[in-house]
Amino acid sequence: MDFTYETAPGRVIFGRGTVRRALPEEVARLGADRVMVITGPSTQALAHTSVAPFADAVVSFFTDVEEHVPAAVARRAVARARDARADLLLSIGGGSTTGTAKIVARDLHLPILAVPTTYSGSEATPVWGTTRDGRTETGTDPAVRPRTVVLDPDLTDRLPRDLAVASGLVALARAVEAHWAPGASPIGSAMADEAMHALATGLRGIGRDSLAQAQAPEKALSDPVSVWAGTPTTAGEQLLYGVYLAGATFASTGPGLHHRICHVLTGSFNLPQTALHAVVLPHVLAFNAPAVPRTAARVARALEVEEAVSGLRALVASVGAPRTLAQVGLLLRQLDEAVDRVSATLPVENPRHVGKNEVRAILTAAYGEAA
């Protein structure tokens, strides 16, 4: 056994009501008395309510968060934090909110206290990213990983079902690929197994049948959150737990072939990244499984299915996620260009050799019968 596993100090507080109960204690524990709150338009009310117990320590609110963290927005956030002489960044929101806080932390060397309201998983990684003129710049810096993460399922249960499903499948892709990504290790694989099991449990809990049961009037007494939010409470807890584990695993292992394909297709053809993960993952797993039968068996056990590839496909189908590249917007006439663009980024570390012919086989299979 020979491997390298690297992680960073961090604190995670998980549980229902933790924002109300633990957030003031965490601000005090971090020794902050000049807090800058970073939040988006849809989470402003939540942010104001959450900081009420320590409002005297809040020196600024930055609410101009936009998707994909435009560079101009990030610069304004940095300037605001510098002018306010902030000593702590409190991010309350989704992945773009966390991402904005990361740029401020990178530039000003400030700690982040993160309260995710979506299943982005960004709060578990040291990866930062900004966009400029449609292009994405990314990097890795240990300083941008939040010092403390408060995970409260009461917040993420509010997500629409389709977004919860899509985010859960993105996290599942991170966990599956952790077994053969460049930084794969026995520790990362163990975490990935636990993440896959939690995510599969959560996704099945908000599948079509479970959603209908959760919305039944009689459920209002035993599971009131699920009635108005659309996500049964137990499923929501499993999803949030699994998403964080998958993000933490991804932080140590890095991306592999699956993420390379999704990144190229998203940037080149403006396809929805979350939906792409649902489409591409079963095909990458099917491509690699013969080369790593023990890994395939581990994936099957974690998903609680008899065979990894067919079990993963059944799980994706059970939650109504898209199944083909055609469904997510790639045109048949763009397939050759997609193959060329992905192939241009090779080589990539993978259990099986990947050349242009292999990329073509994967993308053709993922496109669907029309190809």
Domains of the chain: 11-154 (3.40.50.1970), 161-367 (1.20.1090.10)
Give the pLDDT confidence score for residue 300 in this predicted structure: 97
Q: Are 185 and 292 in contact (CB under 8 A)?
A: no
Token reading at 177:
């690929």
Give the pLDDT confidence score for residue 57 in this predicted structure: 96
Backbone angles phi, psi at 33, to 5 degrees: -135, 5
CB-based contacts of 298, cutoff 8 Å, min separation 6: 179, 189, 193
Backbone angles phi, psi at 73, to 5 degrees: -65, -45
Distances (CA, A) of 293 to 136, 139, 179, 245: 36, 33, 12, 24
Tell me the mean pLDDT per 10 residues along the chain, length 371.
71 93 95 96 94 96 92 96 98 95 97 95 92 83 94 90 89 95 93 96 76 41 43 81 94 92 90 90 97 96 96 92 93 96 95 97 88 57
Give the pLDDT confidence score for residue 207 in this predicted structure: 67
Token reading at 63:
């609410």
First CA to last CA distance, the chain:
43
DSSP 239: H
Give the pLDDT confidence score for residue 267 in this predicted structure: 82
Q: Are 182 and 253 in contact (CB under 8 A)?
A: yes
Give the three-state DSSP class for 20. helix
Residue with tokens 């570390």: 349
Strand ranges of the sheet holding 11-14, from the earlier edge strand across to the other edge = 11-14, 148-151, 112-116, 88-93, 35-39, 58-62
Query: What length does the chain have?
Result: 371
Token reading at 159:
């997500």
- Distance, in Å, from the CA atom of 142 to the CA atom of 127, rounded to the nearest integer, reads 8
- Distance, in Å, from the CA atom of 152 to the CA atom of 338, rounded to the nearest integer, reads 39
Backbone angles phi, psi at 17, to 5 degrees: 85, 10
Give the pLDDT confidence score for residue 371 in this predicted structure: 57
- Distance, in Å, from the CA atom of 144 to the CA atom of 107, rounded to the nearest integer, reads 9
Residue with tokens 């309350």: 92
